[in-house]
Structure 1
Amino acid sequence: MSAVRLLCSLVRPGQSRTLLSSWIAGDRPLRCASNTVADGEIYLAESCVRRLQEVTSGPEFLRLQVDSGGCSGFQYKFTLDTNMTEEDRAFGVDGAHVVVDLDSLQLVKGSTIEFCEELIRSSFQLTQNPQAEHGCSCGSSFSIKL
C-alpha cells in the first residue's frame, strides 16, 4: 500500500486558532516551514486518508499520542479532536488531517498511519515505525530503539 507524503505546519504560540480557521476554510494548505523538518514527518496510507475523509468534518482531525503502557512499553492512542496546542504538529493531505504532539512525534517520526479493517476490529494503526525496536502482535504497542 502506498503512503502519501505529508506536509507539516509549525503551530506557534497564538497562531493555533488562526491556523485551524484557515485549515477549515481551505484557503491555505498546511505547509512545512523549513525549520520544522527536523521534527519529523508522518505518512498517511490511502486507507487512512479515505477513512478520515469519511469520519471527520469541520475542525475535526485525528490525534495520535504515544502513552506509556501496553505489552511492549509504549502504546499508540488515536482519538478525534478539535483542539490544538502549541506543542502540536499538524499533517494533512486531501482534507485528511492528523495532529501529533512533539513528544509523541519523536517516537513515531517516519511512520505510516493506516486504517485496517479486520473481522475482529477496524482501527487506525501505526505501521513501519522506524523508532520501534519491535511491537506487539496486535500492533497497538511497541518498544523503542535505544
Structure 2
Amino acid sequence: MSSSLLRRLAPRLLRSTDPSSSTLANPAVLFLQPTLRAFCSATATSTIPEDSSDAIHLTDNCVRRLKELHAKGELVDGKMLRLSIETGGCSGFQYVFLLDDKKNPDDRTFEKDGMKLVVDNISYDFVKGATVDYVEELIRSAFLVTTNPSAVGGCSCKSSFMVK
C-alpha cells in the first residue's frame, strides 16, 4: 500500500475504531490501531509554510473578510474557514466553503495574519498551490478559489472545476 494512500486512510480508519461510534469496528483495524496512530502522528503535516509552492494562498481580501467576520462575532470559539472539494457542479468537482470549529487529524492549516484556512487531506490534493480570495460582485459575495494549478478548466462562476 502506498504511503500516500495510507496517509489518507489511516485517520478515517482510526475514527472507525472510536468507542463512541455506533458502528462495529473491523477487528483488523482494531489490531492495527496502535500502528495507525503512530503512522498518523509521524506523517502529520498540519501546517505548510506560506512560501511553499504547495501552500494555499489567502489574498488580502480574504484575510480582510475573515477579520470582519471575527469582529462581528461570527468567527468565535476557534472557528476557521474550511475549504473542501465535493463531486458535482457543472465541471465535475466543486469548491465548498464553510465556517468550522473542528480540526480533524488529517487537516492541513494555512494561516495569514492570524486568520486560518483548513483543508482536509483528500481535498488538499485537488487545491495544492491554489489562491483563495473573497470577491464582492453584484450577483454575490463569496469566498472563491481564483487560481488552481490542479484545474484545467471550470465554469465561469468559478464554483466548479475539472481536474488535470
TM-score surpassing 0.5? yes
Higher relative contact order (CA 8 A, sep 6+): 1
Which one has a bigger Cα radius of gyration?
2
Where do 5+ consecutive residues of structure 2 fail to align?
1-39, 70-74
Write 1 or 2 for the structure with the bigger share of strand: 1
Structure-2 residue corresponding to 1:54 = 68
Aligned-partner SS, 1:137:
coil
Aligned-partner SS, 2:157:
coil
Structure-2 residue corresponding to 1:17 = none
CA-to-aligned-CA distance 1:78-100 (integer Å, 9 cap, x gap): 00000011110011111211000
- TM-score using structure 2 length: 0.65
CA-to-aligned-CA distance 1:72-125 (integer Å, 9 cap, x gap): 000000000000111100111112110000110110010000000001100000
Where do 5+ consecutive residues of structure 1 fail to align?
1-11, 14-29
- TM-score using structure 1 length: 0.73
1:127 pairs, out of 122, 130, 146, with: 146
1:42 pairs, out of 52, 56, 62, with: 56
After superposition, residues 1-146 of structure 1 pair within 5 angstroms as 32=48, 40-55=54-69, 56-145=75-164
What code does the residue aligned with 1:50 have? R
Q: Report the count of equivalent residues.
A: 115
What code does the residue aligned with 2:59 have? A
Whole-angstrom distance in 1 between the partners of 2:48 and 2:95: 24
Whole-angstrom distance in 2 between the partners of 1:32 and 1:111: 13
**% identity of equivalent residues:** 47
